[in-house]
Chain A
Amino acid sequence: MTKEECKKIVLDIIADIAPDEDLSNVKPEVRLRDQLQLDSMDFLDIVMELRKRHSIEVPEADYQQLASLDSCAEYLTPKFLALAAKG
């Protein structure tokens, strides 16, 4: 799992929960809420889909780590790698 692959996973989730958004030019360093119409319930959706699709848990205290694609990749990639290592 690379950070780019991790970003792709997050973008795939966003594509499902925000189907009206154009995701072709999402800037990885910019906060997602500043460039897409996402509200707090949408971020709960991202957390839920990570749990459902990938068995990744994001505790409430860490929600701020999902602010941008870059921060998502920083935070989530080690979790994906740890999960993969567990087999």
Chain B
Amino acid sequence: MKHARIVITGVGLTAPNGNSLPEFRKNLLNGVAGIERMEVRYMGSQLAGVCHYDALKYQKKKEIRVGTRAGSISIYCAREALQDSGVNFEGMAKDRVGIYIGCTEHGNVETENEIYNISKFNYDTKFWSHYHNPRTVANNPAGETSLNLGITGPAYTIGAACAAGNMGLIHATQMLRLGEVDFALCGGVSESIHTFGIFAGFKSQNALATHDDPHKASRPFDKARNGIVISEGGCLYTLERLDDAVARGAKIYGEIAGYHVNSDASDYVLPNPVRQAECVRASITRAGLSASDIHIVNTHATATLLGDIQECEAIRAVFGEGCPDTYINNTKSYIGHCMGAAGALELAGNLPSFDDFTVHPSINVDDLDPLCAIPGLVLNQPRRVANVDTILNNSFGMLGINSALIVKRFHP
């Protein structure tokens, strides 16, 4: 079956180390991380990736008060992406625009806040907010974006744990190919740093990073890595069918070449390198490529002791020694784990490689774990390479969801 070609025409993002793609990319090439200490309810000072975008750029104060952080991040990213795409948004048929936003979770922040609120009133539920339900419905971030922009097409979220950012792009690609919409805003967001539960949960799993220097705390592949730095963030893309993008003379960042999604079906939290390798292989096959055609593999590695090793095992199984032009990097070493936004942000950080032929490194690797020493790793310093035609973005999540998405250089 011949599918319509789908291209990326705009990027809007907020990451702990940048509020636009140029700023984000500059910091990735200059080794600038964005981790800081923040107070977390019941847990005190914790390491986290915090975004510092200007929420009032696109929202009124009341919208921010009534809505959620995930909704606000989504609105910022959506409006930035629209602006970047150069599309005549005012002239668009708003019922033909889809919003597909990946989330690891949604509603924990707002629920915790309300329980804390009523704790000050002897847990009397008459003090529970009437905003609780619209804030916690799973489609909230997409719904707030539709409200803010007046988009009347389908707007919903995709729950896919930490594979969600990739899933937003994959789902939008599918919907564009099905003709359900003509224009998509898609990617992933996360507000998870505002819930103590995620910090406490990872701590109970012995998977929460600690380090005296916040910027060195997220250190995938390093022998001294000791867990995840939890971050917030968002990244939304504008996706269009190629014909539409060309017709309006759009700038094209890249083309969706292939993807695959599968499930481990083996454990609640432990990754499964065999299934990960199957997922990556299938995405390459579906893109009509061979492993040696992939120039950048952006890893999911979160800096847990086992997870990094298992992903490296999967990458070794797919790429082995026979892919001299394949380079491997990691973006979480700068921004921590942005959860539902991770896949989308990490892909964005690599897209400029199509133009500058430079692979951003994985930083904070002072002592490479031999079990993570796979060929092609780009560590600590950017690497200028001969060519970048393809980027493969890994994003995996709890309950064993795996996703691999390949974007290729656009050739008419």
Contacts and interface: CB of A to CB of B under 8 A. Distances in A.
A41 B66 contact: yes
A24 to B, nearest CB: 17
Given A20-B60, A52-B121, A41 B130 contact: yes
Interface string B251-270: 00000000000000000000
B127 A20 contact: no
A9 interface: no
A18 B130 contact: no
A71 to B, nearest CB: 22
B111 interface: no
B65 interface: yes
A17 interface: yes
B126 A51 contact: yes
B62 interface: yes
B129 to A, nearest CB: 7
A19 B65 contact: yes
B130 A44 contact: yes
A67 interface: no
B65 A17 contact: yes
Nearest to B126: A51
B145 to A, nearest CB: 19
A37 B126 CA distance: 26
A48 interface: yes
B3 interface: no
A48 B62 contact: no
A51 B131 CA distance: 16
B57 interface: no
Contacts of A44: 130
A19 B121 contact: no
The bracket for how many chain B residues form the interface is 10 to 19
Interface string B43-69: 000000000000000001110011000
Interface in B122-161: 126-127, 129-131
Chain B interface SS verdict (over half): helix
A38 B126 CA distance: 22
Interface in A17-33: 17-20
A51 B130 CA distance: 13
Interface string A3-24: 0000000000000011110000
Contacts of A19: 61-62, 65
Interface residues of A, number: 11
A52 B117 CA distance: 10
A18 B61 CA distance: 8
Contacts of B66: 41
Contact of A41 (B60, B121, B126, B131): B131
A48 B132 CA distance: 13
A51 B124 CA distance: 12
A41 to B, nearest CB: 6
Contact of A18 (B62, B121, B126, B127): B62
A37 B127 CA distance: 24
Nearest to A45: B130
A39 to B, nearest CB: 10
Contacts of A41: 66, 130-131
A48 B130 contact: yes
Contacts of B60: 20
A59 to B, nearest CB: 12
Nearest to A38: B62
A4 B129 CA distance: 28
Residue from B60, B62, B66, B130 with most neighbouring chain A CB atoms (10 Å): B62
Given A41-B66, A52-B121, A20 B61 contact: yes
Q: Name the 3 nearest CB pairs between A and B, nearest first.
A: A19-B61, A44-B130, A20-B60
Given A17-B62, A17-B65, A20-B61, 14 more contacts: A19-B61, A19-B62, A19-B65, A20-B62, A41-B130, A41-B131, A44-B130, A45-B130, A48-B127, A48-B129, A51-B126, A51-B127, A52-B121, A52-B127
22 contacts: A17-B62, A17-B65, A18-B62, A19-B61, A19-B62, A19-B65, A20-B60, A20-B61, A20-B62, A37-B62, A41-B66, A41-B130, A41-B131, A44-B130, A45-B130, A48-B127, A48-B129, A48-B130, A51-B126, A51-B127, A52-B121, A52-B127
